[in-house]
Structure 1
Amino acid sequence: MIVLRIWLILVLFVLSRSVFAQITDFDKTLVSKDCWSENPVIATATQQNAIAVYENFVFIIYYNTSRKLCVARNSNFGKEGNWKIIELPHIYEKRKGKYDNHNTPNIAISPVDQRIHLSFDMHARTFRYIVSEPLAAIADDADFDARLFSPTRNYLENTKVPIERVTYPRFFNDQEGQLFFMYRVGGSGNGDTFLSRYNQDGLWDTPLKIVDGKKGVYEGDENRCAYYNDIFFADGRMYLSWVWRESPNAATNHDLMFAYSEDQGKTWINSEGRQLNGPLHLNSSGVKIADIPMSSGLSNHNGATLDGNGNFHIVLKRGNTYQHYIGFSHEDSFQWESKVISISGDRPKVYCDPISNDLYLMVRQGSRLKIYGSSAHGGDWDQWNEIYTLDGDFTTSTNSIVSPSKDHLMGVAVTKEDQLHLYRWPLANLANRIEK
């Protein structure tokens, strides 16, 4: 009898440890059962800001199955059962009779006035932007509703001049919380990039052209556009990496470029540490870091991140392989190396634990989502292992961020059953699964 009791105690202990591990390993919360999955426009590689985190609030932007623009907010760091969803009047529109998966919605918070900023549903269309009242981000749930948000605007500045032919809106904050907005004006293979700083009053500074797609010549073509990987602000620097495209045909993607700015895009610095006058263009000196010819299977909108030592990482999908470019930081300059990652899948996104410098690669393979991890190994990042596989008939790769507190990787994903989920992986738990 005593032996049986001991055996039962041991079994219960093991089961409790197992259940506890499953519960605490990562969190998956259902945000909505009414997310539009017919068109892969949520949590795609072209979307930079599906999630925004401010203090203990998590915000997610999406279209519901009626194609209306929605904002979901959770006041308890994204935990289950505490989501408040606002449905806004805008309805996702067709382009030339078809739904267009470039029209991603994006969301950000301006900490100085706690406004919520939205930009959405554009592919070479008139600008669409909504801003909330001050303090809306921290409003009580009872007061958090559509009345807090402005009508859709077609302008940024107080001059109210409409901005035409806009694509790929992106928000990002610097380390002081200053909010910036970046977007393309023009078409695929023929566009310029602009950057604007938020004025803290619901309006923005005059946009600054930071990349000129018409300056410079590539095999006789005088028009192109830049396709960016993820954008970063850190230690007073803004980091850009991109590939060029010469026409609407993705086969004309070519070359990998890198530059950073210490004055919010007015001037730029190349990998050699030499200052360049803006805007950047095809022939900007020392900006190209890898020769990749056209028709190389080079995709656009890949992943990039900055590690805790200031090294810059870019992971590109090229054909059926991934290429990892590492820019090793030497104060003002960067020395570049590249490695092949023996993983395949959708366009990759890469994230870094800034304390350990472990890297995480998130990809979609068929209907599954997978996370791969790599330890720095003394600065090599030469060994990747699969640490999570998520089953769920996912329609897109996740759109993820490292939380402002630097202790969680947080991502949203959409399933074919119109479900929108938030995933939260503690970085400490991810690190335990990496082969050291």
Structure 2
Amino acid sequence: MAFYLSLTVYRKTTLLLAALITLASFSLKGQISTISTNGWANNSVNTVIFRKNSLVTWQNIQYAAYYDQDQYVVLAKRKTGETTWQNQRTPYKGDATDAHKSISIIIDGDGYLHVTWGQHNNPLNYAVSTKPGSLQLGEKQGMTGNKENKVSYPEFYKLPAGDILFLYRDGASGNGNLMLNRYVLTQKKWIRVQDGMIDGEGQRNAYWQMSIDIKGIIHLSWVWRESPDVASNHDMCYARSVDGGVTWQKSNGEKYTLPINAANAEYACKIPHQSELINQTSMFADAAGHPFIATYWREAGQTVPQYHLIYHDGKAWRVNNLGFRKTPFTLSGAGTKSIPVSRPQIIAWKNGARQAVAFIFRDAERGNKISIAVTNNVLKGAWQLSDISNNPVGAWEPTYDTELWKNKGVLDLFVQPVIQIDGEGKGNVKPQPVTVLEWKTQAIIKSKKIK
């Protein structure tokens, strides 16, 4: 991940946060529960958006994971709706000083907790709970045993019948391939579904986001990058699978010949290099299987990067520019760096016959609070804007309990105030509270209009 801020004001903001922020004093609008008070906060590793997942619910038990102040992987659980959490420090550490090395969790259909941590171009770190519902992890293990020595960006997704998908990059930034494994519940083992299904051809790699809709269709989108420099991000591509990732299609149903590469990919939106296009954001698909992709970039002839929604309306790809930002910045360089905005998280729900959509984000323009932009009709795109938190959350990015949202329509956000020093730097702040914020869609709908 690479971010460079061209404006001195943002550098000063970051330094101020690092030196002065009393993050433990932050407050939130909504029901809040505290998992722990000793979360690692010297970078953004606990709150990066590509955590899939930070929170996950199974049979009315919600699970969470985070690094504590000593960089140990800690697991936690509670009954949904309660405020008391049970915490278990595992024997595993994950080099939390590298903000890429986040923790991701999922529960399979039998109730076992699967955990991966500490991944950035290194051998796979993966373990499973010793029994259903337990926070006790067994020994580290492999999955398929093949191409597991240079793992980055591990993500779990759950299929409707209880099987699990696991995505990761094999290789390095600018030269890596997307891998897809499946945990088969009936066999209690992992199989390789796709080996390099998106091929960078030794010249580029895909930075992706994925969603599984209510019918079990997998929706995948990605940007291309030719080098570790984030400025080389370009374009937005798309593919879907109706059979658990075995075969892939374009939005018109045309079957892909695998692997997918730059020449045969479907381009949902052409976005040039040097457009401040961000990578690894979020997406969803509505009940009709229409994909919606949240991201940001700077349009040609403009100076300010804006949040955008790229979506397919059943006939063609459309782009909605939310257009409320006013401050320019530039992305360039390598390593995790400070940035004035978070990558956007997207959620959606039915609003009568319409589709309502919300972007959850953090922006220095709004005091680095947790903010939300809402439209009650995505086809018209009249966006409303409000803040969820009263005080800053530093370099936080939004992640949430996808299973709880999918099954019950309850939005539980993982929230921890953190800082991020430019260029994979390590801050020097005291541990911060790790919390869950429950937010109601009714409250979202009542948010005030952008002026």
**TM-score interval, smaller chain:** 0.7 to 0.9
In structure 2, relative to structure 1, the CA distance for the partners of 1:358 and 1:210 (3 Å cut) is farther
CA distance in 2, matches of 1:391, 1:183: 35
In structure 2, relative to structure 1, the CA distance for the partners of 1:434 and 1:261 (3 Å cut) is farther
Give runs of aligned pairs for residues 243-322 of structure 1, distance below 5 A: 243-285=223-265, 287-319=266-298, 320-322=305-307
2:85 corresponds to 1:74: no
1:209 to 175, 181, 195: 195
Which secondary structure state, in structure 2, belongs to the residue aligned with residue 198 of structure 1?
Answer: strand
2:364 corresponds to 1:362: no
What is the Cα deviation at residue 311 of structure 1?
Answer: 2.3
CA distance in 2, matches of 1:385, 1:131: 41
C-alpha root-mean-square deviation of aligned residues, in Å? 2.3
2:119 corresponds to 1:156: no
CA distance in 2, matches of 1:384, 1:427: 13
1:8 corresponds to which residue?
none
What is the aligned residue count? 382
CA distance in 1, matches of 2:208, 2:350: 22
Does the 8 Å CA contact 2:193/2:245 hold for their aligned counterparts?
no
1:395 corresponds to which residue?
395
CA distance in 2, matches of 1:73, 1:234: 26
CA distance in 2, matches of 1:236, 1:56: 22
Does the 8 Å CA contact 1:185/1:191 hold for their aligned counterparts?
yes
> Structure 1, residues 54-88: CA drift from partner, whole Å, max 9, x if none?
1211111110001000111012x1531x2001101
Which secondary structure state, in structure 1, belongs to the residue aligned with residue 180 of structure 2?
Answer: strand
1:349 to 340, 345, 352: 345
Provide the TM-score with structure 2 as the length reference: 0.79
What is the Cα deviation at residue 435 of structure 1?
Answer: 6.0
1:62 corresponds to which residue?
66
CA distance in 2, matches of 1:425, 1:434: 16
Give runs of aligned pairs for residues 88-127 of structure 1, distance below 5 A: 88-93=90-95, 99-111=97-109, 113-127=110-124
CA distance in 2, matches of 1:259, 1:207: 15
2:129 corresponds to 1:132: yes
State the one-letter code of the partner of 1:426.
Answer: K
What is the Cα deviation at residue 213 of structure 1?
Answer: 2.6
CA distance in 1, matches of 2:241, 2:67: 34
Point out where structure 2 has 5 or more consecutive residues left out of the alignment.
1-27, 299-304, 326-340, 419-430
Does the 8 Å CA contact 1:210/1:265 hold for their aligned counterparts?
no
Higher Rg:
1
Does the 8 Å CA contact 1:266/1:278 hold for their aligned counterparts?
no
What is the Cα deviation at residue 31 of structure 1?
Answer: 0.9
Provide the TM-score with structure 1 as the length reference: 0.82
What is the Cα deviation at residue 44 of structure 1?
Answer: 1.1
Point out where structure 1 has 5 or more consecutive residues left out of the alignment.
1-23, 138-143, 216-221
2:209 corresponds to which residue?
229
> Structure 1, residues 290-333: CA drift from partner, whole Å, max 9, x if none?
1111111111012212223432211211142112112112xxxx
Which secondary structure state, in structure 1, belongs to the residue aligned with residue 92 of structure 2?
Answer: strand
CA distance in 2, matches of 1:399, 1:227: 17
CA distance in 2, matches of 1:126, 1:372: 39
1:406 to 405, 408, 411: 408
Which secondary structure state, in structure 1, belongs to the residue aligned with residue 231 of structure 2?
Answer: helix
What is the Cα deviation at residue 167 of structure 1?
Answer: 0.3
2:431 corresponds to 1:427: no
Does the 8 Å CA contact 1:174/1:233 hold for their aligned counterparts?
no
Q: Which has the higher contact order (CA 8 A, sep 6+)?
A: 2
What is the Cα deviation at residue 383 of structure 1?
Answer: 2.6
CA distance in 2, matches of 1:161, 1:290: 34
In structure 2, relative to structure 1, the CA distance for the partners of 1:307 and 1:401 (3 Å cut) is farther
1:43 corresponds to which residue?
47
